[in-house]
């Protein structure tokens, strides 16, 4: 019997996760292998571990660099096809860790089926047969179905998205060999997400078929593909700081939308102000913190200052209702909110500049613009950090859509107006003597890093551990205090 430990680490906490794996190895091992899911070594925050590692550990990666990073720590590099690793104990691990699928290989597998079976399969995506059954088609890929049908792993591990989610099937058998082969699928959440992120198990030479009673999703009649793939529960679970990057999907009703005031689960204790066409709320999981985290000699604010301006109407983008965005009452009111906020901070907190940011896509669920205060001593690095993070996105994370930012200082510039009226885009607006706009058109179907704006600002604020909103949760009491303090600050500023 051989023992294995599978983990889905947060890249920012990799050292701690490896220390926990060492501890588990000494208490419950020894493990033949520790497998790290996701793509933790592809993160912007990736640093090779410094601690000694006591058991063979394999990290999933798209990178082709440095297969062996240090003793007992190895990358599973599989950029376009399935590869197989044979361990000293004789068990085999098949891995396809890339987000990008090689279509030619897909066709070869479908026609020739030359892949051997494996004991453990590690992929980034879920099989589509399982993701569709859970109405989570965005995490699935039909190519993985082809691999599973041929490789027939005894255990199949995946994550499906950056943060992952926990899901496990019962073991199921295959009709043509019901007493000789079984498969169990497990997806793990990411460390720190609140979901189960670790899984330990043992493999014997021969499977016991006694408890193999699960449904084989791959041998069922194909489900009719739903026209849309979003569900109310998915939308409600998504925080205000992160919308899904999805193709045009089932229209989420206002009563089910996290951003809509008509949603009975709307968290009204977070609302700062309500206008005629839009409203303002503090952010859930703010990047900035009350009373500190900004460095320098800047006087601290007693509220986070990270907030969101949201249209009251349930729309993915103003472009969905008008071909002349800037002429709409909604856009004009959003700008009035921006200008009043800038004026308030100029009066009451002159050591700060506001940065507004938005990923504007017609496939969004509900348009929103975020903003937060940046100390005057730090805002000067904005362009350098934006250039650095853009280069990293384009060169290191090639699965992401490539970004090119243009700088504008005139809001009436025809090139800027053309983008706002006619294209999906990412936009930063930086306050100062006059507003400066940094805009990147989104022009193809590649995925967009929805954390990109937050990565830029976290770097400027020297708060790399606050890129992910999940690590920045506040209690309801903290949210109420943050909102009420911001509300007083904003109202007093308008009266002065």
CATH of the domain at 22: 3.60.21.10
Q: Reply yes or no on whether the pLDDT at 378 is more than 80.
A: yes
258/194 same-domain check: no
Percentage of the chain surpassing pLDDT 70? 81
Q: What does the buried/exposed string (b/e) look like for 325-337 if buried means 16 or more CB atoms within 10 Å of the residue's CB? A: beebebbebbbeb
pLDDT score recorded for residue 65? 45
> pLDDT tens digits, residue range 98-128?
655 555 555 555 554 556 688 999 998 899 9
Residue 79, classified by CB atoms within 10 Å of its CB into exposed (0-12), middle (13-18) or buried (19+), is middle
Distance CA 156, CA 123 (A): 8
351/263 same-domain check: yes
Closest CA to 161 of 105, 123, 132: 123
- Report the Cα–Cα distance between both ends of the chain, in Å, rounded: 74
pLDDT score recorded for residue 412? 94
| Token code pair at residue 283 | 């952010």
Least confident range from 64-68, 127-131, 138-142, 170-174: namely 64-68
pLDDT score recorded for residue 225? 33
Q: Reply yes or no on whether the pLDDT at 487 is more than 70.
A: yes
pLDDT score recorded for residue 331? 96
Are the CB atoms for 326 and 340 separated by under 8 Å? no
Q: Which residues pair with 370 in a beta bridge?
A: 308, 357
- Helix (H) / strand (E) element for 378: namely helix 376-379
Sequence-distant (6+) residues with CB within 8 A of 152 are 117, 118, 174, 181, 183
> Which carries the bigger pLDDT value, residue 73 or residue 357?
357
Domain enclosing residue 58, as ranges = 2-203
Q: Is residue 292 part of a domain?
A: yes
Q: Is residue 182 part of a domain?
A: yes
pLDDT score recorded for residue 79? 56
**pLDDT bucket at 222, cuts 50 / 70 / 90:** very low
Are the CB atoms for 304 and 286 separated by under 8 Å? yes
Q: What does the buried/exposed string (b/e) look like for 120-159 if buried means 16 or more CB atoms within 10 Å of the residue's CB? A: bbbbbbbbbbbbbbebbbbbbbebbbbbbbbbbbbbbbbb
Distance CA 31, CA 21 (A): 10
Mean pLDDT (whole number) for 18-39: 90
Least confident range from 124-133, 210-219, 267-276, 304-313: namely 210-219
Mean pLDDT (whole number) for 12-24: 89
Cβ neighbour number for residue 223 with a 10 Å cutoff: 12
**pLDDT bucket at 494, cuts 50 / 70 / 90:** low
pLDDT score recorded for residue 139? 86
Least confident range from 84-93, 205-214, 387-396: namely 205-214
pLDDT score recorded for residue 356? 98
Closest CA to 193 of 162, 168, 163: 163
**pLDDT bucket at 435, cuts 50 / 70 / 90:** very high
| Full-model pTM | 0.54
> What does residue 126 show for φ and ψ, rounded to 5 degrees?
-75, 160
185/251 same-domain check: no
Q: Is residue 212 part of a domain?
A: no
Q: Reply yes or no on whether the pLDDT at 235 is more than 50.
A: no
**pLDDT bucket at 161, cuts 50 / 70 / 90:** confident
Mean pLDDT (whole number) for 168-183: 83
pLDDT score recorded for residue 73? 85
Query: To the nearest whole number, what is the mean pLDDT of the chain?
Result: 83
Which of 203, 220, 241 corresponds to the end of one domain? 203
322/417 same-domain check: yes
pLDDT score recorded for residue 238? 33
Number of domains comprising the chain: 2
265/149 same-domain check: no
| Token code pair at residue 10 | 């947060």
Percentage helix, strand, coil for the chain under 3-state DSSP, each rounded to 5: 30, 25, 45
**pLDDT bucket at 177, cuts 50 / 70 / 90:** confident
Q: Is residue 306 part of a domain?
A: yes
184/240 same-domain check: no
Closest CA to 166 of 186, 185, 184, 188: 188
Q: Is residue 335 part of a domain?
A: yes
> What does residue 240 show for φ and ψ, rounded to 5 degrees?
-65, -20
Sequence-distant (6+) residues with CB within 8 A of 156 are 120, 121, 123, 127, 148, 183, 184, 185, 186
197/263 same-domain check: no
| Token code pair at residue 388 | 């650095």
Residue 400, classified by CB atoms within 10 Å of its CB into exposed (0-12), middle (13-18) or buried (19+), is middle
- Helix (H) / strand (E) element for 457: namely helix 452-460
Least confident range from 19-23, 47-51, 283-287, 436-440: namely 47-51
Omega into 159 within 30° of 0, i.e. cis? no
198/243 same-domain check: no
Cβ neighbour number for residue 67 with a 10 Å cutoff: 11
Q: Is residue 213 part of a domain?
A: no
Closest CA to 62 of 202, 162, 157: 162
Mean pLDDT (whole number) for 31-43: 79
357/440 same-domain check: yes
Q: Reply yes or no on whether the pLDDT at 246 is more than 50.
A: no
SS3 for 442?
strand
Closest CA to 365 of 250, 233, 225: 250
> pLDDT tens digits, residue range 275-314?
999 999 999 999 998 875 445 556 789 999 999 999 999 9
Cβ neighbour number for residue 190 with a 10 Å cutoff: 26
pLDDT score recorded for residue 269? 93
Distance CA 285, CA 470 (A): 6
> pLDDT tens digits, residue range 393-420?
998 887 789 999 999 999 999 999 999 9
Which of 157, 182, 203 corresponds to the end of one domain? 203
> Which carries the bigger pLDDT value, residue 134 or residue 104?
134
Which of 161, 183, 203 corresponds to the end of one domain? 203
């Amino acid at each position: 019997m051989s023992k294995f430990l599978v983990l889905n680490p947060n890249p920012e906490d990799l050292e701690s996760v490896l220390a926990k794996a060492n501890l588990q190895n000494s208490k419950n091992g020894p493990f033949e292998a520790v497998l790290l899911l996701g793509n933790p070594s592809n993160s912007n925050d990736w640093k090779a571990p410094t601690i000694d590692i006591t058991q063979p550990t394999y990290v999933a990666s798209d990178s082709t660099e440095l297969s062996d990073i240090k003793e007992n720590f190895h990358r599973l590099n599989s950029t376009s096809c399935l590869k197989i690793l044979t361990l000293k104990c004789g068990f085999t691990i098949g891995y396809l860790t890339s987000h990008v699928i090689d279509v030619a290989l897909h066709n070869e597998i479908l026609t020739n089926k030359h892949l051997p079976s494996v004991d453990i399969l590690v992929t980034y995506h879920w099989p589509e047969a399982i993701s569709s059954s859970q109405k989570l088609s965005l995490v699935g890929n039909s190519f993985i179905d082809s691999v599973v049908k041929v490789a027939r792993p005894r255990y199949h591990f995946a994550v499906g998205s950056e943060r992952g989610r926990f899901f496990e099937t019962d073991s199921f058998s295959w009709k043509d060999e019901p007493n000789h082969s079984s498969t169990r699928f497990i997806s793990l959440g990411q460390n720190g997400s609140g979901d189960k992120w670790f899984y330990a198990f043992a493999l014997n030479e021969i499977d016991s078929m006694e408890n193999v009673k699960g449904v084989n999703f791959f041998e069922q009649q194909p489900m009719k593909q739903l026209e849309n793939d979003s569900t109310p529960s998915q939308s409600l679970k998504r925080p205000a700081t992160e919308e899904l990057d999805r193709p045009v999907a089932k229209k989420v009703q206002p009563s089910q939308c996290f951003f809509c005031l008509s949603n009975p689960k709307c968290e009204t204790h977070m609302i700062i102000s309500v206008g005629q066409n839009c409203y303002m709320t503090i952010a859930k999981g703010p990047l900035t913190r009350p009373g500190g985290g900004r460095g320098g000699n800047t006087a601290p604010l007693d509220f986070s200052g990270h907030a969101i301006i949201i249209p009251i109407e349930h729309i993915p983008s103003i472009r969905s209702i008008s071909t002349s965005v800037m002429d709409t009452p909604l856009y004009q009111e959003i700008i009035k909110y921006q200008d009043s906020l800038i004026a308030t901070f100029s009066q009451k907190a002159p050591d700060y500049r506001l940065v507004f940011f938005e990923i504007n896509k017609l496939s969004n669920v509900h348009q929103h613009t975020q903003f937060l205060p940046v100390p005057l001593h730090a805002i000067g690095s904005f362009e350098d950090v934006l250039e650095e993070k853009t280069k990293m996105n384009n060169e290191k994370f090639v699965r992401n859509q490539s970004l090119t930012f243009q700088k504008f200082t005139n809001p009436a510039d025809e090139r800027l107006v053309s983008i706002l009226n006619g294209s999906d885009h990412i936009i930063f607006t930086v306050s100062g003597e006059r507003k400066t706009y940094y805009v990147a058109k989104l022009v193809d179907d590649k995925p967009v890093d929805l954390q990109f704006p937050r990565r830029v600002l976290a770097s400027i604020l020297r708060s790399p551990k606050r890129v992910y909103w999940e690590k920045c949760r506040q209690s309801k009491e903290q949210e109420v205090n943050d909102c009420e303090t911001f509300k007083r600050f904003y109202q007093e500023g308008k009266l002065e």
